[in-house]
């Protein structure tokens, strides 16, 4: 059996041992999975075989870019409104390339190549999506290969209007839904914006979903490919996913109000505290320094500033209009060599008797209930329209982006009405990227060692992970020896047994010698008799 075969036998053993040794909690199974992964990547080449995914059901749009072509995509040839002329053009470059890191051979994606440029590119759907009785599922991949300083990676589903022209796609082109990540500064967002017509005034309004209920920062900074999914249902519900995990969020109930007796004070004045008798609340915070002395040479009668004797009234000074003219003030020359001028005052110091207003010390509030917040409910804003799902149909997908960082990677767009179709599509595409990224991720053994320090029972799994393949390999692969290959060796017996055996051998030898002598005598007698008989007969 080969080493790979031994590994295949080992993996079920690890799982069985883990089940028998411990209750299979989710945390436990997580580390068992890590052990599985370790064995597999030790024994197998982590290179995966990639095949361009094909939708398993009806879709409105699917794009993999694996053919290296942008034939179905149209670059915008217009300019952005309300922008300086030097940056108004949508002249940002696009390219079809492999990932920089954790690439899957044969897999390619759409890459935004320019920084500090406006980009706009769009493609028509196979058929328009009409909001009726089927759900809408939108899914695609994004990788911020160089991180992201300021920019977006969201998509727009362009409304099915009679005037839609992809060559004129710009920031004011009507869209039905905008969805995807966006970041500037330390503000990390996952947009979900939909536009629908107000049934009263017919104005088209934008509705923004609340922020995702998770920390989004890691999805922008880890340089991994992440999967973004939006599901809209005809019952007006929706859910957003990142890497197939829901990131939808609850909101505060706007109709919930704080009870009148709700106490948010964590600390209160001690009701049993009493102001000390010697506490003077009227004592000033500052007093004159009683020990201070006026410096020698202080000129009490000299002011600090005097009129400038050299100043002259301007010729155009009109006392009726400008008032009585006074010479500007200058520092008193007499004070230049003196320690000070003017009325001397004692400097102020902190009053050692100052205590301020007496307040009881704070103690824990026995009635403290925490800071009041309204209870959480499902977001009612989505239901403001009786049929918010019935939005304007759309027939194109576009990316209209500004970015201060280049090399943003997009891949595997799919629009369908079936979540299972999108899930299978993700398994055949994003799932392989995730597998390769996990295989190339440094530090898996370090993680296993740290886990074992916290959970010593993992050492049993680790040891068996290594020992079982070796044992199975020896058992199944070691060549068998024939009987002729064995060399028998005499085994030394214990000394007491040896002496007894030697005595028995000597006794047997003596008996044998006696029997030999008797036999020889008998033979001699027989021979002598035959010779005598022969002589007599002659």
Tens digits of per-residue pLDDT, 98-141?
999 999 999 999 999 999 899 999 999 999 999 999 999 999 99
**3-class DSSP state for residue 480?**
coil
Q: Is residue 175 part of a domain?
A: yes
Q: Is residue 312 part of a domain?
A: no
Mean of the pLDDT values across residues 21-31? 46
Tokens of 266: 């964590």
pLDDT at 329 over 70: yes
Q: In sequence order, what DSSP letters do the residues of 19-65 get, joined into one string?
A: HHHS---HHHHHHHHHHHHHHHHHHS--PPPP-----SS-EEEEE--
Tens of pLDDT along 189-243?
A: 999 999 987 766 677 888 888 888 788 998 999 999 999 999 999 998 899 999 9
pLDDT, position 22: 45
According to DSSP, the residues that pair with 118 across neighbouring strands are 402
Tokens of 91: 């002249």
Q: Is residue 256 part of a domain?
A: no
Mean of the pLDDT values across residues 290-306? 87
Q: Is the dihedral of CA 15, 19, 21, 26 positive or negative?
A: positive
Q: Could you list the beta-strand ranges (E) of 98-212.
A: 109-112, 117-129, 136-144, 150-152, 155-159, 175-184, 187-197, 204-208
In 3D space, the residue among 62, 5, 13 whose CA is nearest the CA of residue 36 turns out to be 13
* Structural contact between residues 122 and 166, judged by C-beta atoms closer than 8 angstroms: yes
pLDDT, position 437: 85
Q: Is residue 204 part of a domain?
A: yes
- The Cα–Cα gap between 220 and 212 comes to 14
- The Cα–Cα gap between 122 and 108 comes to 18
Tokens of 138: 């939108």
**3-class DSSP state for residue 129?**
strand
Number of other CB atoms surrounding residue 281 within 10 Å: 10
Four-point Cα dihedral 193, 197, 198, 204, nearest 10: 70
The residue whose two tokens read 């004159």 is 288
In 3D space, the residue among 292, 295, 392, 273 whose CA is nearest the CA of residue 342 turns out to be 295
**3-class DSSP state for residue 396?**
strand
Q: Is residue 430 part of a domain?
A: yes
- The Cα–Cα gap between 418 and 279 comes to 77
Q: Is residue 429 part of a domain?
A: yes
User: Which of 202-216, 252-266, 482-496 ranks highest by mean pLDDT?
Assistant: 202-216
User: Which of 1-10, 32-41, 307-316, 496-505 ranks highest by mean pLDDT?
Assistant: 307-316
According to DSSP, the residues that pair with 269 across neighbouring strands are 362
Considering just the CA atoms, what is the radius of gyration of the chain in Å? 48
Q: In sequence order, what DSSP letters do the residues of 409-453 get, joined into one string?
A: EEEEEEEES-HHHHHHHHHHTHHHHHHHHHHH-TTHHHHHHHHHH
pLDDT, position 230: 96
pLDDT, position 21: 45
Find the CATH number of the domain harbouring 160: 2.60.120.200
* Structural contact between residues 325 and 313, judged by C-beta atoms closer than 8 angstroms: yes
Number of structural domains (the chain) is: 1
In 3D space, the residue among 283, 198, 207, 277 whose CA is nearest the CA of residue 238 turns out to be 207
Q: Is residue 350 part of a domain?
A: no
Tens of pLDDT along 272-287?
A: 888 888 888 888 888 8
Residue that wins the pLDDT comparison between 143 and 462:
143
pLDDT, position 174: 95
Mean of the pLDDT values across residues 42-63? 79
Percent with pLDDT over 70 in the chain = 74
pLDDT, position 83: 74
pLDDT, position 272: 87
Number of other CB atoms surrounding residue 218 within 10 Å: 12
Of 125-139, 187-201, 384-398, 508-522, the least confident: 508-522
pLDDT, position 467: 79
pLDDT, position 245: 92
* Structural contact between residues 442 and 86, judged by C-beta atoms closer than 8 angstroms: no
pLDDT, position 86: 72
* Structural contact between residues 48 and 104, judged by C-beta atoms closer than 8 angstroms: yes
How far is C-alpha 453 from the geometric centre of its chain's CA atoms? 23
Q: Is residue 520 part of a domain?
A: no
Number of other CB atoms surrounding residue 138 within 10 Å: 25
Q: What is the 3-state secondary structure (H, E, C) of 270-320?
A: CCCCCCCCCCCCCCCCEEECCCCCCCCCEECCCCCEEECCCCCCCCCCCHH
Task: Determine the structural domain holding residue 243 and report its residue range.
Answer: 59-250+389-440
Q: How confident is the model at residue 302 (pLDDT cuts 50, 70, 90)?
A: confident
Of 221-225, 347-351, 415-419, 465-469, the least confident: 465-469
Q: How confident is the model at residue 9 (pLDDT cuts 50, 70, 90)?
A: very low
């Amino acid at each position: 059996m080969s080493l790979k075969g031994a590994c295949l036998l080992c993996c079920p053993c690890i799982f069985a041992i883990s089940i028998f040794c411990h209750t299979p909690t989710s945390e436990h199974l997580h580390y068992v999975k890590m052990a599985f992964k370790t064995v597999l990547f030790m024994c197998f080449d982590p290179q995966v075989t990639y095949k361009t995914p094909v939708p398993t059901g009806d879709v409105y749009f699917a794009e993999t870019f694996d053919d290296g072509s942008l034939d179905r995509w149209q670059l915008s040839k217009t300019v952005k409104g309300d922008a300086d002329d030097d940056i108004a053009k949508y002249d940002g470059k696009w390219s079809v390339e492999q990932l920089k890191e954790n690439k899957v051979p044969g897999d390619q994606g759409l890459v935004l190549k320019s920084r500090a440029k406006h980009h706009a590119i769009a493609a028509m759907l196979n058929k328009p999506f009409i909001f009726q009785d089927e759900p809408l599922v939108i899914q695609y991949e994004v990788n911020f290969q160089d991180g992201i300083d300021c920019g977006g990676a969201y998509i727009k589903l362009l409304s099915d209007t009679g005037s839609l022209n992809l060559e004129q796609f710009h920031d004011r082109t009507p869209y039905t839904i905008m969805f995807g990540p966006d970041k500037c500064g330390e503000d990390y967002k996952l947009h979900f914006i939909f536009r629908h017509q107000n049934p009263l005034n017919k104005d088209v309004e934008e509705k923004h979903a609340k922020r995702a209920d998770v920390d989004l920062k890691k999805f922008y900074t880890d340089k991994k490919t992440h999967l973004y999914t939006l599901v809209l249902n005809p019952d007006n519900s929706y859910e957003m996913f990142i890497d197939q995990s829901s990131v939808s969020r609850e909101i505060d109930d706007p109709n919930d109000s704080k009870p009148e007796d709700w106490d948010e004070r964590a600390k209160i004045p001690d009701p049993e505290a009493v102001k000390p008798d010697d506490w003077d609340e009227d004592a000033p915070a500052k007093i004159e320094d009683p020990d201070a002395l006026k410096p020698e040479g202080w000129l009490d009668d000299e002011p600090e500033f005097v009129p400038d004797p050299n100043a002259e009234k301007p010729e155009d000074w009109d006392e009726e209009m400008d008032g009585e003219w006074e010479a500007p003030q200058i520092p008193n020359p007499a004070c230049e060599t003196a320690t000070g001028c003017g009325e001397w005052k004692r400097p102020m110091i902190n009053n050692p008797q100052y205590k301020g207003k007496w307040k009881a010390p704070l103690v824990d509030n026995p009635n403290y209930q925490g800071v009041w917040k309204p209870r959480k409910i499902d977001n009612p804003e989505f239901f403001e329209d009786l049929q918010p799902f019935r939005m304007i149909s759309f027939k194109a997908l576009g990316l209209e982006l500004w970015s201060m960082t280049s090399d943003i990677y997009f891949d595997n767009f799919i629009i369908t009405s079936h979540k299972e179709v999108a899930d299978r599509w993700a398994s055949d595409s994003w799932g392989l990227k995730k597998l390769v990224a996990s295989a190339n991720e440094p530090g898996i053994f370090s993680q296993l060692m740290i886990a074992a320090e916290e959970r010593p029972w993992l050492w049993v799994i680790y040891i068996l992970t290594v020992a079982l393949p070796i044992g199975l390999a020896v058992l199944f692969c070691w060549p068998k020896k024939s009987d002729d290959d064995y060399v028998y060796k005499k085994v030394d017996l214990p000394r007491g047994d040896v002496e007894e055996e030697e005595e028995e051998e000597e006794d047997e030898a003596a008996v044998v010698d006696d029997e030999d002598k008797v036999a020889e005598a008998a033979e001699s007698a027989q021979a002598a008799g035959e010779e005598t008989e022969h002589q007599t007969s002659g």
